[in-house]
Structure 1
């Protein structure tokens, strides 16, 4: 049996962090997309409907139940 052990001498490269001001556009885009998705899942039906008929409701039907929105 050998008593030698392998010890790596390399260090992991450091990742530079982005300033918060650079993340603001991504945060706003993410929030906008989340609000649009929330609207289509939760409110796209009836008087506030953007698309006529029940097509959008049927596409997001299971997501409505998953998030707790009543729909029937």
Structure 2
């Protein structure tokens, strides 16, 4: 009777290589965007305010409550 199990091969697909210089700009962009969003949702009010008035505070008000950040 013939052997019906194919022999095991050691062929593996080549790993995908991503050059670091292609990742760094996108990672930096993501960090800056994340910190900007975190600032506007969590800190744009009172003494740390970069913009005068309460327009940004009122615009982000519900977002603060959703993430559990104190606002008042």
TM-score, scaled relative to structure 2: 0.70
CA distance in 1, matches of 2:36, 2:61: 16
Unaligned runs of 5+ in 2: 1-15
Unaligned runs of 5+ in 1: 1-15
Q: Which aligned runs of 4 or more in structure 1 are off by greater than 6 angstroms?
A: none
Q: What RMSD over aligned residues (CA atoms) do the two structures have, in Å? A: 1.4
The alpha-carbon deviation at position 28 of structure 1 amounts to 0.4
Structure number with larger C-alpha Rg = 2
CA distance in 1, matches of 2:56, 2:17: 40
How many residue pairs get aligned? The number is: 57
Partner of 1:56: 56
